[in-house]
Chains A and B, each alone.
Chain A
Amino acid sequence: MTSEGRAGPTANGEAPEDFDERSIDILVSLAKNGEIDPWDIDIVDVTDKFLAQVAELEKLDLRVSSRTLLFASILLRMKADALEEPEPQDLDDEELLDEDLHACFPALKPKVRRHAKRRVTLSELIHELKKATKRKEKSDVRRLIQLQAQEFDALAVAHTEDIERQVKRVQRELKRRFGKQDQVLFSELIVDNTAEHIIQTYIPLLFMATRRQIQLEQKELFGDILIQCKNL
Chain B
Amino acid sequence: MNDRDLVEAALFVAGRPLTLLELESMVSLDADVEEIVESLVEEYREKGALEIVQTDEDIVMQVKGEYADAVRTIAQRDLETPVLRTLAVIAFHQPVTQSKVAEIRGNKAYGHVHELEARKLVESEPYGRTRMLRTTKAFADYFGFETESLEEIKQKIGLLLR
B144 at interface (Cβ–Cβ under 8 A)? yes
How many residues of chain A get a CB closer than 8 Å to chain B's CBs?
Answer: 21
CB distance from B53 to the nearest CB of A (A): 14
Query: Quick check: A125 and B78 within 8 Å, CB to CB?
Result: no
Say which one of A76-84, A115-123, A167-175 lies at the interface with B.
Answer: A115-123
Q: How far is the CA of A121 from the CA of B72 in the complex (A)?
A: 10
Instruction: Write out the residue numbers on chain A whose beta carbons fall within 8 Å of the beta carbon of B142.
Output: 119-120
With an 8 A cutoff between CB atoms, is B1 at the interface? no
8 A Cβ contacts from B69-119 to A = 72, 75-79, 81, 84-89, 91-92, 104-105
Residue in A116, A118, A131 whose beta carbon sits within 8 Å of that of B85 in the complex: A131
B104 lies within 8 A of A125 (CB):
no
**Would A116 and B16 count as touching, CB distance under 8 A?**
yes
The total of interchain contacts (Cβ-Cβ below 8 angstroms) comes to 67
Task: Tell me the chain A residues, 104-127 only, with Cβ under 8 Å from chain B.
Answer: 112-126
Interchain CB contact under 8 A, A128 and B72: no
Instruction: Give Cα A121–Cα B76 distance, bound, in whole angstroms.
Output: 12
The 8 closest A-B pairs by CB, nearest first: A116-B15, A129-B88, A117-B78, A118-B75, A128-B85, A128-B88, A126-B160, A122-B143
A-to-B contact residues, CB < 8 Å: 112-126, 128-132, 136
Q: Which residue numbers of B lie inside 8 Å of A, CB to CB? A: 12-13, 15-16, 72, 75-79, 81, 84-89, 91-92, 104-105, 142-144, 157, 160-161
Q: A114-B13, A122-B160, A129-B91 provided; 4 other pairs, C-beta below 8 A?
A: A114-B15, A118-B78, A122-B144, A132-B85
